[in-house]
Amino acid sequence: MDGELEFSQRLAMQLRRAGLGDLAVALLEGGAPLAPFAAQLAYLVEPFLGSSGRTAARLAHLLEDPQGLDELVGQLREGS
């Protein structure tokens, strides 16, 4: 669980640095019903990404977990 929290914190930090925090919040909240579908897409492309595949798998796992998505949205809002 700590690894998942650390991943979501790093992801939130990277999105905020790129100026995409507010957009990510809107997409995560508005697209929440599609999150499991997006997770499956991430799992599908994981083998083709080489070393980035691990990141895709972690993102997919985060997208499958409603509580994890809520935590990510909260972290993004804190930085806004």
65 conformational bin, left if phi > 0, alpha if psi -120 to 50, beta if neither: beta
- Decide which of 37 and 51 is more confident: 37
Instruction: Report pLDDT for 17.
Output: 95
Buried-state track 9-40, b at ≥16 Cβ within 10 A, e below 16 = eebbeebbeeeebeebbeebeeeeeebeeebe
User: What is the per-residue pLDDT for 30?
Assistant: 95
What's the whole-number mean pLDDT along residues 38-55?
86
% of the chain surpassing 90 pLDDT: 66
Q: At what angle do helices 2-17 and 21-30 cross, to 10 degrees?
A: 120
Average pLDDT over residues 30-48: 92
